Structure 1
Amino acid sequence: WRRAVASQMKPACFDETSIHLRSTQTTNDGRQQDFHAKGRVMTFNGWMALGADNKQSQQLPSLSSGAVITSSDTVVKAKRTQPPKRYTEATLVKKLEDSEIGRPSTYASIMETLTSRHYVREHKEGKGKQVYLAPTPLGEKIIAALAGGFSFADYEFTRQVEAHLDKIAAGEERYIDVVARINDTLDNELGKMPTPEGVEQHECPECGKPLRLRNGKRGAFWGCTGYPDCKYTAPDDGGKPGQRAPEPKPASDKTYDCPVCSKPLRLRNGQRGAFWGCTGYPDCNYLVDDNQGVPALPDKIYPCPECSKPMRRKNGRKGPFWSCSGYPACRHAVNDLNGEPEGIKTA
């Protein structure tokens, strides 16, 4: 109530006074010391009449210009220059806004990139244990290598790219022209950019090209820069390539046919463990879980009512559901009803 009423009242008024003093005695190197003091006295309390603290008044003694005064006491205090506070997520977003970089829809992905690639870490400071973003050694080395010699790390370059994107959205520029210019600049500067000192390089064990830390739907992972010629990947282990899970082996030499296209199924290893996938991929993307070296093929086949391909049971955010194995060509999906697709009968 007090804040609502105070917002409708007149501001408080003060008489402000400043005093500038200069010492008559000089230091050992011949310099005079300057001293400054500020004071103010409230002349109209305005909204502060609601009971706000009025300790803001600080009256200075009455002095005249040129007066000589004697110091009654002198205290020497040693102070060190304090570094600026580290960014929090909120203050970093504010900095991006002030620098005209990014959009509200991209701020979350920016934060995700900084943390998933181990450029920053969370650091708690102060009595309230405020969470700040502290740079990691990797982040410091990356900035040291990019700053001053790589335009993509420059605020002005990013602002210009944002402006070009706005013009594309307004129909004033062509997408292909803008992207071509940016791509040429990137290729030119990447070719001249040295490897940051102290940053460990990881070679692909299959083709020898450098591995690069990437961010996927299921988290960070390392991928070969020779993609698509080389499709080697490895899990991320604290900023370094981790060990890949050993390749699974079938329980026997028996072959299993894909229920969609009748081509053989092959045992593969994924980020969530072993699975069986169709050898007809990408024309056929059928896959099924592994059950100790044997594909866990369903006992019953439920044909899709739209394309007749088998329905497949999946786990989503809201629980299990059934979708067509012909996805993305066929996007038919139904709810799970006691382990069976709702409204679909077996073949």
Structure 2
Amino acid sequence: MDSPITLQVYLLLLIIPVLLLLFLNKQRKEAEKQSPKPKLPPGPRKLPLIGNLHQLGNLPHHSLWHLSQQYGPLMYLQLGQAPTIVVSSSEIAREVMRTHDLASCNRPSLFSSTKLSYGCSDVAFISYGDQWRELRKICMVELFGTKNNSYLHSLREEEVARMISSISCSSSDHPIDLSDMLLSMANNIVCRAALGKSYQGGGKYEWSKLHLMLTEVQAMLGSFFMADYIPCLAWIDILTGARARLNKNFSDLDVFYQQVINDHLHQSMHSHGQDEDIVHTLLRLKKETGHLTDENIKGILMNIFVAGSDTSSASVEWAMTELMRNQQAMKKAQDEVRKVIGRKSEG
């Protein structure tokens, strides 16, 4: 039988959390009285701590669409401790992006994107400001400007011609995995433009390893981390292994980026202008201006790989799917392609 002292300890342990919750609730109400509550768009009722996270479901875009049918095209959700505005109409999206662009120009600093972008040292996740303007200018003028158009255009033509040749040589008895071919083509273009070579030929960082790392980046950027929504429960990410998985992916990429930088530093830096790949250009600008760091270079490479590979191949794949569903549009596209080929052969 428990002694009176033990029972008192049990009662104390039960009372302390209750008193703490009452105190925090009182503090919250006092804070709300002192600061006027902002006018928020309509939205579903939220639960304590998790907010509306439980309403996202396995397909969040479907869940958000169903909620917007009830609460309108401008909706407020509380995802854990992250206040979120959901826009589901083109008119309001135009208002947000054009009229109130300064209020919505920053991406949220999520745990995975902050890690993979070297603390937001890239151009996609860095906060809006002078440094963002400098990085954007470098990308627009030096990396993707008019002086590199002919160089990048020739790369695209060569890789597209290589893919078409591969399709032409394939046996008609076997189906063609167009998704794999498109992804391979997009990554070849990105690798040649950014690094000066294709990684399909083998070596320490052969294509399969690079492809797995980039696939893992996409998975990590879209993964759920408790630290983003309920910071006090961030330790759960350690238990689930999500943080270890992210750290491994970051470490693998960092080794790859550093090897690429070291290889370029050991190469001759005499080729400038159209023959420069992106890493050469960034290293030259780092030396000439002093505005770039290795973290900036690695972050920009991450942006280029993520934005230039899966997104490009997926867009072409969806376009091909829509053409197959619309035979009239398919015939029109075929006629245009044949006319272009005919002009080139005549020339």
The answer to whether TM tops 0.5 is: no
More helix by share: 2
Larger RCO, structures 1/2 (Cα 8 Å, 6+ apart): 2
- With the length of structure 1 as denominator, give the TM-score of the two structures: 0.25
More strand by share: 1
- With the length of structure 2 as denominator, give the TM-score of the two structures: 0.25
